[in-house]
Amino acid sequence: MDNALLCELAAHPDFVKLMADLEIYVNGTAGEQVQSANAIVDTMSATIMKQRNPGLIDPQLRLNYGKLSDKEKKWLKKIAEKSDLLKNPNPQRGQKRK
């Protein structure tokens, strides 16, 4: 550990900005904002797809769930549970406890 380097870093005029950026990174704040923006885009995309193709319930897979049997719906649900998209994308490291 180079103490002189740490002193130079702390004296730098942009040190406060660096600390703020580090806090955003560690707390995952930026990731949450990006995830929220992506959710809005996905919702709007699904809304537009539903307007253009009212028979489609799932615009990403283009599946009409009304045509699936109960057994097929059950298997589709089991398969979807293995998707990384359904796992918690928020980082747990650095989360403040409430």
How far apart are the C-alpha atoms of 60 and 80, rounded to whole Å? 13
pLDDT digits (tens, 9 = 90+) for 15-43: 999 999 888 888 877 777 788 888 888 88
State yes or no: pLDDT of 84 exceeds 80: no
Instruction: Look at residue 54 in the predicted model and tell me its pLDDT.
Output: 63
How far apart are the C-alpha atoms of 5 and 21, rounded to whole Å? 19
pLDDT digits (tens, 9 = 90+) for 57-81: 555 766 777 788 888 888 888 887 7
The domain limits of the chain are 3-86
How far apart are the C-alpha atoms of 22 and 26, rounded to whole Å? 6
On the CB side of 87, CA atoms within 13 Å amount to 6
95 or 7, higher pLDDT: 7
On the CB side of 42, CA atoms within 13 Å amount to 9
pLDDT digits (tens, 9 = 90+) for 86-96: 555 555 555 55
How far apart are the C-alpha atoms of 79 and 28, rounded to whole Å? 29
Residue among 90, 98, 87 nearest 26 (CA):
90
Mean pLDDT of 81-88: 66
